[in-house]
Amino acid sequence: MKITLSKANKIEGTIEVPADKSITHRAIMLSSLAQGRSIVRNYLPSDDCIRTIDAFKKMGVEIKQDAKNLYIKGIGLKLNKPRGEIYAGNSGTTTRLISGILAGQTFESVITGDESLSKRPMRRVIDPLTKMGAQFMSNNGLLPLKIKGQNPLNAISYESDKSSAQVKSAVLFAGLYAKGKTVYIEPVKSRDHSERMLKAFGAQVEIDRNNVSNNVSNKVSILPAQKLNPQDISVPGDISSAAFFIAAALLVPNSNLTIKNVNVNPTRDGFIEVLQKMGADISINNVKEVSGEPVADIAVKYSKLKSLNLDAQIIPRMIDEIPIFALIASKAQGVSKVSGAGELRVKESDRIAAIVSQFSKIGVEIKEFEDGFEINGRGDFAPKAAEVESYKDHRIAMTLAVASLISQGETTINDAECVNISFPNFYELLKSASKS
Ligand code: S3P
């Protein structure tokens, strides 16, 4: 599907964005492994999360859904051998997190995915899970993955060379099935939804306060579990989805927008911190805790911004916001350089290549590096009219859609329907918040 969008005069109102994708995946997984009935309120019914729901249905879990909630009857830590292959579609989170769970089962299973997922690296989970005793067969580190589980698994202490919540979660989930304490250390702390939710379901998770990087503990351990207790979980709005609306309100003159009920977990809020340093008028209001996660309303006003450099210390806290950060940097006065972000090359698309090629088309002065890019921003920048490629990557499509709001003419986005991966009503919500 192609979509054609054009300039908005202002972004205004009070909105809610869809539920957090990371939290929805984890809630489905842990509810499936719990002993009894859980409710997941306000879940994200996007393509990626539906892949996770289908995977657990295939392994014997009863999952009922209505427009708002999921009703999951967990069958305990031991799942049933899936009928056929598990199809993960475009979802890296489904594949990598489920690998940790399948590693601790006593059956053999196979995970497949779409063309993009089949190019994404899986050695990062194969390596630690093999050390724990599971056997993997893959296509040179790529899908399809054949997993022969082992129960119990070996408890390991694993020091990862990357900050990836998907890898960390796979190891922690496998740790539920291990013989002793499983330890995971990462360079900079990645999103900690798994740790928080595992605790809520009754698993024994410990954060090592003595092991810190940048004032935050980056070492976590888990003990094996006999059972998980079912929960009633409410999923907050996704800050990675809110990011596109925050950007729209910052960039379109006269805007004033409030986004209610957004997850502001400190391992996810790097984008807000960075924007405030650039001079953005953003305030975080009504902070409360819901289902073990901090949630708040975010108020944003149009702001004149200055450039800022990002490095490897901040990237994990805003990894999914780099494409939309790039657009903001194009309109922030001065040079912004992003480095230490090589992981962007192995996301749903090569996001560095995608940003550089499509931003060049719309007139951004941008230079490419192996681990990032550099943008020469101008306060008066207005993208040129163009036909642009999303590379079937939801976050690239949404970034280009926000660019159209400040464009000199019409922007046509190819394969625009990929927003369904994380934000099914994205274009409708953008239209309703854009006032002409
Ligand atoms: C996610 C972790 C991140 C992120 C992805 C979701 C998760 O990936 O980019 O969209 O839910 O754990 P990495 O673990 O590869 O950094």
Please provide the distance, in angstroms rounded to a whole number, between the alpha carbons at the two ends of the chain.
24
pLDDT of 161: 96
Atom of ligand 1 nearest to the CA of 163: 16
Two tokens, residue 53: 């729901």
How far, CA to CA in Å, does 63 sit from each of 19, 39, 87, 121? 18, 10, 17, 30
Active site residue 380: no
What backbone torsions phi and psi does residue 109 show, to the nearest 5 degrees? -140, 165
Tally of CB atoms within 10 A around 221: 20
DSSP 349: S
Find out whether 277 and 305 touch, Cβ atoms under 8 Å.
no
Q: Whose CA is nearest to atom 16 of ligand 1?
A: 164
Q: Whose CA is nearest to atom 4 of ligand 1?
A: 320
- pTM listed for this prediction: 0.98
Any idea which fold 3-19+236-435 has? UDP-n-acetylglucosamine1-carboxyvinyl-transferase; Chain (3.65.10)
pLDDT of 215: 75
Atom of ligand 1 nearest to the CA of 194: 12
Please identify which of the residues 20, 269, 297, 320 carries the catalytic annotation.
Answer: 320
Per-residue pLDDT of the chain (436 residues; tens, 9 = 90+): 999 999 999 999 999 999 999 999 999 999 999 999 999 999 999 999 999 999 999 999 999 999 899 999 999 999 999 989 999 999 999 999 999 999 999 999 999 999 999 999 999 999 999 999 999 999 999 999 999 999 999 999 999 999 999 999 999 999 999 999 999 999 999 999 999 999 999 999 999 888 777 778 899 999 999 999 999 999 999 999 999 999 999 999 999 999 999 999 999 999 999 999 999 999 999 999 999 999 999 999 999 999 999 999 999 999 999 999 999 999 999 999 999 999 999 999 999 999 999 999 999 999 999 999 999 999 999 999 999 999 999 999 999 999 999 999 999 999 999 999 999 999 999 999 998 7
What one-character-per-residue DSSP string does 78-104 give?
SPPPPSS-EE-TT-HHHHHHHHHHHTT
Find out whether 433 and 248 touch, Cβ atoms under 8 Å.
yes
Burial of 76 (0-12, 13-18, 19+ CB in 10 A): middle
Strand partners of residue 40: 70, 233
Two tokens, residue 140: 């040179």
Cβ within 8 Å of residue 218, ≥6 positions away: 163, 185, 186, 187, 188, 189, 211, 212
CA angle 86, 92, 97 (to 5 degrees): 70
Cα of 319 to ligand 1 centre, how many Å?
Answer: 8
- Rounded to whole angstroms, the Cα distance separating 96 from 126 reads 9
Q: Determine the length of the chain.
A: 436
- Rounded to whole angstroms, the Cα distance separating 179 from 225 reads 10
What is the amino acid identity at position 286? N
Torsion (CA) 358, 362, 367, 371 in degrees, nearest 10: -30
- Rounded to whole angstroms, the Cα distance separating 186 from 177 reads 21
Find out whether 378 and 362 touch, Cβ atoms under 8 Å.
no
Atom of ligand 1 nearest to the CA of 26: 11
DSSP 298: E
Pocket test for ligand 1, best of 46, 49, 123, 166 (most atoms within 8 A of CB): 166
For CATH 3.65.10.10, the residue range(s) in the chain are: 3-19+236-435, 21-224
Cα of 166 to ligand 1 centre, how many Å?
Answer: 5
pLDDT of 216: 81
In 255-322, the DSSP E strands lie at 256-263, 281-290, 293-301
- Rounded to whole angstroms, the Cα distance separating 327 from 296 reads 25
Two tokens, residue 339: 């480095």
Q: Kindly list the protein residues whose Cβ atom lies closer than 6 A to any atom of ligand 1.
A: 22, 93, 164-166, 169, 191, 319-320, 343
Two tokens, residue 343: 């992981």
- Rounded to whole angstroms, the Cα distance separating 254 from 381 reads 16
Tell me the CATH class for 21-224: alpha beta
Cα of 337 to ligand 1 centre, how many Å?
Answer: 22
